[in-house]
Structure 1
Amino acid sequence: MAARGRRGMLLPIMEPELAEVRDFLAAHAPFSDLPDDVLAAVPARCSLRYHRRGSTILRPDEVVTSFLIVRSGALDVHDPAGGLVERVDVGGSVGVNGLLQPPPYGFVVTAVEDTLVLVVPGEVFRDLLTYPGVSSYFMLQQAHRLRQAVESVQISDHGGAVLRTRIADMLGRAPVIARPDATVREAARTMREARVSSVLVLDSTDRLCGILTDRDLRNRVVAEGLSVEVPIAEVMTTDPITLESDALALEALLEMLGRGIHHLPVVEDGRPRGLVTSTDLIRLEQSSPLYVVQDVSRQSSPEGLAAVARRLPSIVDHLVTQDASASDISRVVTAVADALHRRLILLAEEKFGPPPVPYCWVALGSQARYESGLGGDQDSALILDDSATLEHATYFAEFAEFITDGLVLCGYPRCPGDVMATNPRWRQTETAWRAIFAEWIERPTPDAVVGATIFFDMRALAGDTDMCERLRRHVLARTPQASTFLAHLIKQAVFHQPPLGLFRGLVLEKGGPNESTLDLKHRGVGPVAEIARAQALSVGSTAVDTRGRLAGARSAGRMSESSVADLLDAFEFISYVRLRHQAGRVREGHAPDNFVSPASLSSFEKRTLKDAFGVIRQAQTALAQRQPLGYIS
């Protein structure tokens, strides 16, 4: 009798059953794509195993030598933290990743019900991988597992999901409403009686057409000396930003941070269901970044701003332990950085007086892409109106120095490469900037490519923002035809390889203070940003963020939907591990960095990072194949 233990009862496949097993395999992918003679030979090399309901079939620390196909019953696959990765029904398989990658396996597999599995030895599996249909099927399965891993790391360590609360769950009283022809006096009385700071304005069909807030009353009525008898239609905010009731509290938070507003109407089919305010979110989440942004606006000195900025790492630490994604956390970090920049710019104008000519202060790099982490340095530039002359140089030099010094106080060190507005090279008129970009595009030297990787990630922060947008539109219209320049960008994008060895082992940094660590910036998120930039510029996409650029490449047919989805999952997972590491460094009293020790990662995280790095490598290979790079030096 066959042995029976925690692995269940092993059953050989008898001669009469071979045809039945062959027919079973023929009915399920990827075996249905095998040639008939190959398929017919598989059952005799396999065996069956029976597992009782609730039994553990595979453990995270195991060395897998076979993969299992569910013949009857069902299996659950969990990550080491207990999160459900997938349920595998009849025809599905488990253990494949244990054969594709070095041990240990990294997942817990249990029988949901009494289950019979077909045991396929590793040597059979390797033989079958020589058939393209089989290999591509299991590569897609790997991508699915990466996507599940991305979702599982976003589960709160505290079991709560404060910022993932749905807006519908936050709504209480019915919205206070008014009509457009009501007077300001009537609206103010309504707000006083209802003890609210705003009213929603509905048109004759009961659809939202505006909002009137206490700020509107101060700024648009009292400060302007208007009569309280004017209709509120003349002073309200028309077509306000809204959210659907199934949106998340985090989405409301990000809208308020990004737009500097404090009230968000909640609608369904254009009709208001309620209102969410910044106070609601602060009450919901006491460590909300709204506290930081609000305090930034109240500061009157760089020292005061620095005191506020020191609270950002603890907020990131808190967001990491909630179920916020890396994308959302980076947007919060960027929003706080933007607020600090803008407040310092206002303080500079107060100190030095109104600017002599119009200007635009621009953020560069990861801040421009809304992808900031902790510990990043400064990257900035100034675009000046074409009327600027040498006599204006002193004003803007002192102006930039004040802002840069203030940012250093706030925890943003100077750029080691001096890519800052304090460098006269990066304080230019709009026309001069056009010439600089033209030089980079038409004569792409190595220095030009380095400049392009920084300055093509450009976003206006303050001043005359139209200058930046005009410059970007002018430049982006030229990049799709600049084949030599794009070839240089592509070469740069494939140069920084992810830290993955020949046999899918992790390649660690050698020598220096960061020896034996993984550089998740330059060899993780950086290559994804470079791939996205090269793809986007080749189609003239106006997006500046990595996710938007990849979406643009997909829409233009440059990348397939599946390859973009896989690359976004890889980007998200690596970014999350990086942000969590940075928050942990600050918590332990160290400066945040991008170098993660493998010893600090679980087997699940190491395995998923390998998946993510593999996806990046595939994307780099696909990008390089689009254009010959051998002649580029």
Structure 2
Amino acid sequence: MDVELHEVRDFLAVNPPFDQLPDAVLDELPALMTTRYVRRGEEILTLGEPNDEFYVIRSGAIDLRDEGDNLVERAAEGSSMGTVTLVDGDPSTFRAVASEDTLVLVMSGPDWHRLAGSNTAFREFFLGQRRERVRGALRNAHLADSGMAVLRTRAKDMVRHAIVETTADASVREAARIMADRNVSSILVMDGPRILGIVTDRDLRKRVVAAGLDTSDSVSSVMTPDPTVVAAEAVAFEVLLLMMDGQIHHLPVVESGRPIGVITSTDLVRLEHANPVYLVRDIATQADVAGVAKVTSRLPQTVTRLVSQDATADDIGKVVTAVADSVVRKIIALAEADLGRPPVPYCWMVLGSQARGESALGSDQDNAIILADDAGPEGERYVAALAEKVVAGLEQCGYPRCEGDVMATNPRWRQSLSGWRKEFSRWLHEPTSDALLNAAIFFDARALAGDTTLFTDLYRGVQAQAQKSGRFLGLMAAQAVRHEPPLGFFRGFVLQKEGEHKDTLNLKWGGIGAVQETARVLALAAGSPAMRTHDRITDAANAHLLTHETATDLSDAYEFISYVRLEHQAKAVLDGRSPGNHVNPDTLSSLDRRHLRDAFGVVRTVQGQVAQRYPAARI
């Protein structure tokens, strides 16, 4: 190897992901690359144009700009680009321009694909980088007080065109002609109001042109069946995470069971973006638990910033939950990499506030596992080992272990599907105090990883049983009413009388927690599958269990109490203290104290109505 090639090899060897390649592969790379000089202002990637080359910056810097000419990233020495187009085969969604005289190492697309195909870690690095590009302008962006686009913009507001559709018996040629005539990059395959599948430009290239398929064949032969969809009311932040997690480029938007349009990854780039998603991206790219923990330590500062920018408690809860979900998924992936492929299907569930999408700073772990019935001893040993690794990893990342031991490390919260069914039957028909507590925890549950059909099979059945069990609902209502708001006879605050939190209000016990438990029992009575507290309150009103006026008051009270807690937690973070649920009312403004009393009063009134509905609650 001559001196110049040797220098190129040494340069690559100290920059990721090349530093993960075997020495023999590194030795061959320099001969596959050419050096190109790019003058300042020269463009090497053109917006909307195809690209078949891979670039590594050896010296200098290159700016990536979106279609609005906004700076997305300034790539420096050791950075690479071009992989978004190489992986997807799509035109470039960014413009790459040298911000100073720059030297780049260039590899052909076919050579890059061969290298990525034979080196898993190398390929996965760039798949992660692709997700970063979708969120381009997120880097160093902040939520503006007037905008907060990713938290305020709804999916339905991002739809730019009416749906373009065809039927399953249409030919590929007919579908492609419709797409060309309407100037769209996707078409929905419909059966009446039901989405059967979706076909995109990428599908036509890869599944038709590249595969040599006859264009007279049915479009159903090339469609992606049962595509992931998003609700019209979902916020852009949720849309973005859904597209990232599923590596989705076209996402149908559904309202009242019918599609109203399709969101593309390009639509997201048009929004003002927020740092929380960038935080999620960083979690996904970590190689070990220590790296995840380091990234997660930035969450309190993120929440503090959102509070200062007047984001709602509901919005912030979604952000904190999204980060927690990403942490759990990443740690599960790392644990599976250590333990090997799961020998049997299992489902990892999150419980409590994380399941509801209402996580706050300082939330502890609540999790469980459903194991397939045919798991046997080998499967049981595997999930037990998995649970130990994941729970320990979450603790390392700042999520404390549950003091009540409601975690997958506890065999009681790690059972087969049939075992869980028996457990629920006992909880519902023999509702002791422990059974009620366990059932209450589990009715705030969400499948997060693994085989989610196990959760669906279990939850549908037990939810239906709960709705029909008046005695069980009455005892659940009694438990909710027991969490009395901290108000005295003359609407003065009732403070903690002793201990660590003397002279403070517990905002969770008689405020946030009381609303959550009340909303849960009303949702079960209404047969609502909703998890989020605001949604449960709405569904209770729609089922005439609350008046719409009362439901609005209760939602507002819940938001206000939650926001006071968030402000308190944000201040604690800034002061270097641990965030918690106890607030000294003397630290609040007179206006906040008055509003807090009003909010507690609303909670107490609704609890009274629930007690009237369920006699067991008055015992």
- Report if TM-score (shorter chain) is over 0.5: yes
| Residue 541 of structure 1: how far off its partner (Å) | 2.5
- Relative to 1, partners in 2 of residues 1:217 and 1:497: Cα closer, same or farther, differing over 3 Å? farther
| Residue 203 of structure 1: how far off its partner (Å) | 9.1
The answer to whether the 8 A contact 2:289-2:393 is kept is yes
The answer to whether the 8 A contact 2:478-2:617 is kept is no
- Relative to 1, partners in 2 of residues 1:174 and 1:539: Cα closer, same or farther, differing over 3 Å? closer
Secondary structure at the residue paired with 2:359? coil
Which letter maps to 1:280?
Answer: V
| Residue 267 of structure 1: how far off its partner (Å) | 11
Q: What is the TM-score when the length of structure 2 is the normalising length?
A: 0.65
> For residues 582 and 436 of structure 2, what CA distance do their matches in structure 1 show?
25
Query: Identical aligned pairs, as a percentage?
Result: 45
Which letter maps to 1:523?
Answer: G
Q: 2:529 aligns with which of 542, 546, 558?
A: 542
Q: 2:422 aligns with which of 435, 443, 446?
A: 435
Q: 1:457 aligns with which of 407, 432, 444?
A: 444
- Relative to 1, partners in 2 of residues 1:584 and 1:419: Cα closer, same or farther, differing over 3 Å? same
> For residues 304 and 213 of structure 1, what CA distance do their matches in structure 2 show?
37
- Relative to 1, partners in 2 of residues 1:439 and 1:599: Cα closer, same or farther, differing over 3 Å? same
Q: Which runs of no fewer than 5 residues in structure 2 stay unpaired?
A: 1-142
> For residues 335 and 260 of structure 1, what CA distance do their matches in structure 2 show?
16
> For residues 589 and 235 of structure 2, what CA distance do their matches in structure 1 show?
30
Which letter maps to 1:526?
Answer: G
Count of aligned residue pairs for this structure pair: 461
Q: Aligned residue for 2:550?
A: 563
The answer to whether the 8 A contact 1:210-1:236 is kept is yes
Which letter maps to 1:598?
Answer: P
Q: Aligned residue for 1:619?
A: 606
Q: 2:272 aligns with which of 263, 275, 284?
A: 284
Which letter maps to 1:484?
Answer: R
> For residues 258 and 575 of structure 1, what CA distance do their matches in structure 2 show?
28
- Relative to 1, partners in 2 of residues 1:257 and 1:527: Cα closer, same or farther, differing over 3 Å? farther
| Residue 425 of structure 1: how far off its partner (Å) | 1.2
| Residue 408 of structure 1: how far off its partner (Å) | 0.9
The answer to whether the 8 A contact 1:477-1:540 is kept is yes
Secondary structure at the residue paired with 2:488? coil
The answer to whether the 8 A contact 1:256-1:262 is kept is yes
Secondary structure at the residue paired with 2:564? helix
Q: Aligned residue for 1:51?
A: none
Q: Aligned residue for 1:330?
A: 317
Per-residue CA deviations over 1:237-263 (Å, capped at 9, x if unaligned) read 57674798x997556546647866466
> For residues 581 and 462 of structure 2, what CA distance do their matches in structure 1 show?
32
Q: Aligned residue for 2:74?
A: none
> For residues 612 and 339 of structure 1, what CA distance do their matches in structure 2 show?
33
Alpha-carbon RMSD across the aligned residues, in angstroms, is 4.1
Q: Does 1:552 align with 2:539?
A: yes
Per-residue CA deviations over 1:175-226 (Å, capped at 9, x if unaligned) read 9x9999789xx99xx9xxx9xxx9344899xxx9856477x799x769x984
> For residues 164 and 310 of structure 1, what CA distance do their matches in structure 2 show?
22
Worse-superposed segment, 158-167 or 454-463: 158-167
- Structure 1 residues 394-473: aligned runs within 5 Å: 394-473=381-460
- Relative to 1, partners in 2 of residues 1:479 and 1:161: Cα closer, same or farther, differing over 3 Å? closer
The answer to whether the 8 A contact 1:158-1:321 is kept is no
Which letter maps to 2:427?
Answer: W
The answer to whether the 8 A contact 2:528-2:536 is kept is yes
- Structure 1 residues 83-482: aligned runs within 5 Å: 158=145, 161-163=148-150, 199-201=185-187, 210=198, 212=200, 226=211, 241=229, 249-250=236-237, 252-253=239-240, 256=243, 261=248, 275=264, 277=266, 280=269, 284-287=272-275, 289-482=276-469
Which letter maps to 1:360?
Answer: C
> For residues 433 and 310 of structure 1, what CA distance do their matches in structure 2 show?
35
Worse-superposed segment, 234-243 or 603-612: 234-243
- Relative to 1, partners in 2 of residues 1:249 and 1:429: Cα closer, same or farther, differing over 3 Å? closer
Which letter maps to 2:509?
Answer: H
Q: Aligned residue for 1:16?
A: none
Per-residue CA deviations over 1:437-485 (Å, capped at 9, x if unaligned) read 1111111111111111211211111111111111111111211332332
> For residues 324 and 565 of structure 1, what CA distance do their matches in structure 2 show?
19
Which letter maps to 2:426?
Answer: E
Worse-superposed segment, 383-392 or 609-618: 383-392
> For residues 527 and 252 of structure 2, what CA distance do their matches in structure 1 show?
35
Q: Aligned residue for 1:524?
A: 511
Q: 1:584 aligns with which of 571, 584, 588?
A: 571
| Residue 545 of structure 1: how far off its partner (Å) | 2.3
Q: Which runs of no fewer than 5 residues in structure 1 stay unpaired?
A: 1-155
Secondary structure at the residue paired with 2:577? coil
> For residues 618 and 453 of structure 2, what CA distance do their matches in structure 1 show?
39
| Residue 274 of structure 1: how far off its partner (Å) | 8.1
Secondary structure at the residue paired with 1:284? coil
| Residue 492 of structure 1: how far off its partner (Å) | 0.6
- Relative to 1, partners in 2 of residues 1:583 and 1:237: Cα closer, same or farther, differing over 3 Å? farther
Which letter maps to 1:595?
Answer: H
Q: What is the TM-score when the length of structure 1 is the normalising length?
A: 0.63
> For residues 272 and 440 of structure 1, what CA distance do their matches in structure 2 show?
43
Q: 2:584 aligns with which of 597, 605, 612?
A: 597
Secondary structure at the residue paired with 2:283? helix
Query: Which structure has the larger Rg over C-alpha atoms?
Result: 1
| Residue 587 of structure 1: how far off its partner (Å) | 2.6
| Residue 567 of structure 1: how far off its partner (Å) | 0.7
Instruction: Give the structure, 1 or 2, with the largest relative contact order (CA under 8 Å, sep 6 or more).
Output: 1
